[in-house]
Amino acid sequence: MIPQYYDIIRLVKMGATTLRLPDEKLKLIRAIAGYENIPLSKIFEEMVDEYIERHRESLELLRIPGFLKESEEGLKEIQAGGGKSIDELDS
């Protein structure tokens, strides 16, 4: 079972995970967190928020019924040498 925590300020149920980073990156992010007096968890939460926002369009496309299946089928067709060229798509 995953331990559950709560962000006291926002009263949001928080999950926990283990994050593995190269030592050098971990040292740098810890130094930044210490300098800015911000908990590492807050920094990582902000990074995740930014990542999700950058990929929001992908999430919206995946909500379209059949989109993922059509995409996978199209990729297989292209990998097998099928599909249309750019010129064919323009006409």
- CA 7 to CA 9: how far, in whole Å? 6
For residue 40, give the amino acid letter. L
Instruction: Please indicate, yes or no, if residue 53 is contained in any of the structural domains.
Output: yes
Q: What is the pLDDT of residues 45-56, one digit of tens each?
A: 999 999 988 888
Domain with 56 in it: 20-80
Instruction: Please indicate, yes or no, if residue 90 is contained in any of the structural domains.
Output: no
The domain tally of the chain equals: 1
Instruction: Please indicate, yes or no, if residue 89 is contained in any of the structural domains.
Output: no
pTM of this prediction? 0.56
Instruction: Please indicate, yes or no, if residue 51 is contained in any of the structural domains.
Output: yes
Instruction: Please indicate, yes or no, if residue 6 is contained in any of the structural domains.
Output: no
Instruction: Please indicate, yes or no, if residue 43 is contained in any of the structural domains.
Output: yes
Instruction: Please indicate, yes or no, if residue 30 is contained in any of the structural domains.
Output: yes
Q: What is the pLDDT of residues 69-90, one digit of tens each?
A: 888 888 898 888 887 777 777 6
Q: Which two tokens stand for residue 74?
A: 């199209």
